[in-house]
């Protein structure tokens, strides 16, 4: 019985620590957000990635953007990339989903989306595998921009219309995007 009581205390304490950690993070960033409608954002993402709108799933009516400088700070203080990769248990899709969910949960930014893609060698164009990363639209002083984040190692690149999306030794060929 003593061990059960101790474990219950650990669970309760861990839960409170997690809640307070979120509070500290929420209150340590003063995030200026810009609201954008679903259709406008969907059009922008489609134009930048070349994906048809039928390959972009958006579940909210309104989305909240911030600038890339703020995102870089959020990424710096997020610990998703510190998780250990475990095939089929915590792999690329889990890294991506975890990061996106944390950004919505903690900072109320619903614009980190899951980016399903094919990986290819950027030199030979040879298929490497299927993958999931994070796609992040931002509001900069000169308009909307789009970034891909590799949530397993925090590397990123800006998406430029008509140019390949490359991070390190991987070329990301867009397949499906989901924002919620």
Inter-residue contact 74 to 30 (CB < 8 Å): no
Instruction: Convert the pLDDT of each residue in 94-143 to its tens digit.
Output: 999 999 999 999 999 999 999 999 999 999 999 999 999 999 999 999 99
d(CA 157, CA 160): 9
Which of the 8 DSSP states describes residue 83?
S
Entry pTM: 0.92
Inter-residue contact 171 to 119 (CB < 8 Å): yes
Instruction: Convert the pLDDT of each residue in 39-49 to its tens digit.
Output: 999 999 999 99
Instruction: Convert the pLDDT of each residue in 50-109 to its tens digit.
Output: 999 999 999 999 999 999 999 999 999 998 988 999 998 999 999 999 999 999 999 999
What's the chain's average pLDDT? 94
């Amino acid at each position: 019985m003593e061990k059960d009581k101790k474990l219950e205390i650990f669970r309760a304490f861990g839960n409170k620590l997690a809640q307070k950690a979120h509070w500290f993070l929420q209150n340590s960033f003063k995030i200026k957000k810009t609201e954008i409608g679903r259709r406008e954002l969907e059009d922008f993402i489609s134009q930048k990635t070349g994906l048809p709108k039928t390959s972009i799933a958006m579940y909210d009516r309104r989305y909240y953007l911030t600038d890339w400088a703020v995102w870089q700070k959020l990424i710096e203080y997020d610990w998703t990339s510190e998780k250990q990769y475990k095939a089929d248990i915590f792999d690329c899709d889990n890294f991506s989903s975890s990061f996106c969910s944390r950004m919505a949960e903690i900072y109320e930014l619903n614009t980190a989306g899951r980016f399903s893609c094919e990986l290819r060698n950027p030199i030979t164009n040879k298929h490497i595998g299927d993958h999931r990363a994070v796609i992040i639209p931002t509001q900069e002083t000169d308009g909307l921009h789009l970034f891909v984040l590799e949530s397993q190692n925090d590397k990123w690149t800006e998406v430029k219309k008509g140019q390949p999306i490359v991070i390190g030794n991987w070329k990301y060929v867009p397949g499906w995007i989901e924002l919620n």
